[in-house]
A = this chain, B = another copy of it.
């Protein structure tokens, strides 16, 4: 059968089952020229959330750990910052206080840690940290915590003419530092939260400097607005893991023609973590409860993925 060998070889870290079959079938249908579901390559846009969808976000998003390290450094320089609850909670490592604050407040220290830097300085600073920083529970570096099945899915989509985008609540510049290496996604296909910026003519070359003011908090409805701004087309495939991704997935499913939307469900305490509706920084309630009604598929990390991380020692590595 035409294409069958490639199909058999695709997504090797996904267990055979309904989710894998549905994804492979969708990609086969939209790429079949002359078929009823054919989608021209230009319109094959796939949008992925990052934290919890492409890499581990538990017990806190990677950028929060980065901010924690940076905020400690900043508060040593300027102790008055400790009067802000989120800064105080960061420095004291008070995860309970941190997770009780609004998500937007929690990101404030994260933004503070790069305000005033040029883009080049921020990239260098973030890379210096992330290339060696370790996850507190998994006992290995954060950059080894990308999900292997998702990298395979991104590769499979791209091999079939899709353009793959990250649409993240995380900082756009932070995610750009790792997206190419971890996911094969170039900087221009990363959409995320951003600070305002300004151009400075420093005399020996112009630089862009980040300002201590939020430009866009890329979560919920804002993800769709930023998709419109950056991509300019409605995606036909979307993947998320929380209510913050629900608008993006429903927007994806709301257009004409073949479409597909997925949630990854973190139900794998053995290989990763098991959490959903009670995880403050990534609420998953409406999306979980109404996925069926909205036509969103649920991928079970435990059942649908034969492997989670590159080195999770389950015999596949």
Q: Give chain A's interface residues, CB within 8 Å of chain B.
A: 42, 119, 163, 172-173, 176, 180, 186-190, 194, 197-199, 201, 205-208, 215, 221, 224-225, 228-233, 247, 250-251, 254-255
Contacts and interface: CB of A to CB of B under 8 A. Distances in A.
A192 to B, nearest CB: 10
Kindly report how many copies of this chain are found in the complex they form together.
Answer: 2
A45 B58 CA distance: 36
A188 B44 CA distance: 12
Contacts of A207: 254
A190 B119 CA distance: 21
Contacts of A190: 232
7 contacts: A199-B221, A199-B224, A199-B225, A206-B250, A206-B254, A207-B254, A208-B225
Contacts of A189: 188
Contact of A255 (B172, B197, B205, B232): B205
B172 A231 contact: no
A300 to B, nearest CB: 27
Nearest to A196: B225
B188 A228 contact: no
A194 B216 CA distance: 14
